[in-house]
Amino acid sequence: MKAAVYYETGGPEVFRYEEIPDPVAPDDGVLVKVEAISVEGGDTLHRSGGEMGAVPTVVGYQCAGTVVSVGARVSGLAPGDRVITVGLDGSHAELRAAPEAFCWKIPDGLSTEEAACVPVAFGTAHDCLFEFGRLAPGETVLVQAGASGVGIAAIQLAKRAGARVLATASSDTKLERLRELGLDDGINYSVRKVAEEVFMLTEGRGVDVVVESVGGPGLAQSLECLAYKGRCVSLGDAGRGGPALVDVSTLRPKNLTLCGYFMGAELLLGPNTYGAIASILNDVAARSLRVVIDRTYPLEQAEEAHRFIESRQAFGRVLLVP
């Protein structure tokens, strides 16, 4: 099969489009012909400096396509089924092997391209808001990086849960587009101080929940935005600002909560995430939730796709198509 691979970590230029051996369906999993790959922020972080499990490495959390073969212990999937798969690597290729437990059938009426964008972004947003953020109707949430895949998902999920939704983005144009998805108030972080704007918009109170994907110094800034008993859920380091150092004593005066989030752990150990994603897929198929795709590249242009994501111009998801 053809795949976008690299032999060392670094910038997008490390990608090579090469022929590599086909994977094989594990006994508890499936082999999928990949038709759409959603490039996640974590994919770019792994490529730039993550641990390489093999050489060459095929990076990538998430993709969708058609099952071509199944392992001996698979009971819920069959060749010809359309599925989305999630894993720690391997999405940037023409074929992917994945455990059945990390696959979801694509509902009728939902395109493979849209489906490829759902589990990581919407599953992460759902868990951050409700499982760990404990967001309740009438509360206020701040979504950092609102124009990202997780951000767009979180805005929609929080709004339909009855929350007031604030979000940050790098331009007024992006914030205006987010209003169509449920944003109440936007903050352009390139020209305004986020904490000052949050307290102005909330009349000095702060927000109940922050969905925090920036990391680095941005994590401390997100904690500043919280109201009494506020909850901040840290899910990533998209800001690439180095280690996120927090003085825990700053949490005590307002009884704040800070927790980390990794969806892989929830899929392996948590009881709710898999089912929540299945339900969200049905909602996207019914058009009560929206997937936003910025642009699509052929797989051989993985370098260009990653470079575009790292330019921070994207609004929503960027896809690769084999």
Say which CATH number the domain at 7 has: 3.90.180.10
Please check whether residue 271 lies inside any domain of the structure.
no
Domain boundary among 249, 265, 281: 265
Task: Tell me, yes or no, whether 104 and 73 share the same domain.
Answer: yes
Buried b (16+ CB within 10 A) or exposed e, 227-248: beebbbbbbbbbbeeeebeeee
Task: Tell me, yes or no, whether 153 and 259 share the same domain.
Answer: yes
Contact 143, 152 (CB under 8 A): no
Task: Tell me, yes or no, whether 100 and 36 share the same domain.
Answer: yes
Please check whether residue 158 lies inside any domain of the structure.
yes
Task: Tell me, yes or no, whether 131 and 234 share the same domain.
Answer: yes
The predicted structure's pLDDT at residue 262: 94
The sign one gets for the Cα dihedral 257, 262, 263, 265 is negative
Say how many domains are in the chain: 2
Nearest-Å Rg of the Cα atoms of the chain is 19
The predicted structure's pLDDT at residue 236: 83
How far is residue 97 from each of residues 11, 33, 174, 180, 228, measured CA to CA in Å?
A: 26, 9, 36, 37, 46
Task: Tell me, yes or no, whether 93 and 125 share the same domain.
Answer: no
Q: By percentage, how much of the chain surpasses pLDDT 70?
A: 98
pLDDT in tens, 156-180: 999 999 999 999 999 999 999 999 9
Please check whether residue 52 lies inside any domain of the structure.
yes
Say which CATH number the domain at 211 has: 3.40.50.720
Give the chain's mean pLDDT.
Answer: 95
The 8-class DSSP code of residue 197 comes to H
Domain span at residue 143 reads 120-265
Task: Tell me, yes or no, whether 74 and 151 share the same domain.
Answer: no
Contact 285, 278 (CB under 8 A): no
Q: What is the mean pLDDT of residues 225-254?
A: 86
Q: 216: pLDDT confidence band, cut at 50, 70 and 90?
A: confident
Task: Tell me, yes or no, whether 100 and 135 share the same domain.
Answer: no
pLDDT top residue among 91 and 41:
91
Q: What is the mean pLDDT of residues 264-286?
A: 95
Task: Tell me, yes or no, whether 98 and 125 share the same domain.
Answer: no
Task: Tell me, yes or no, whether 193 and 309 share the same domain.
Answer: no
Task: Tell me, yes or no, whether 62 and 144 share the same domain.
Answer: no
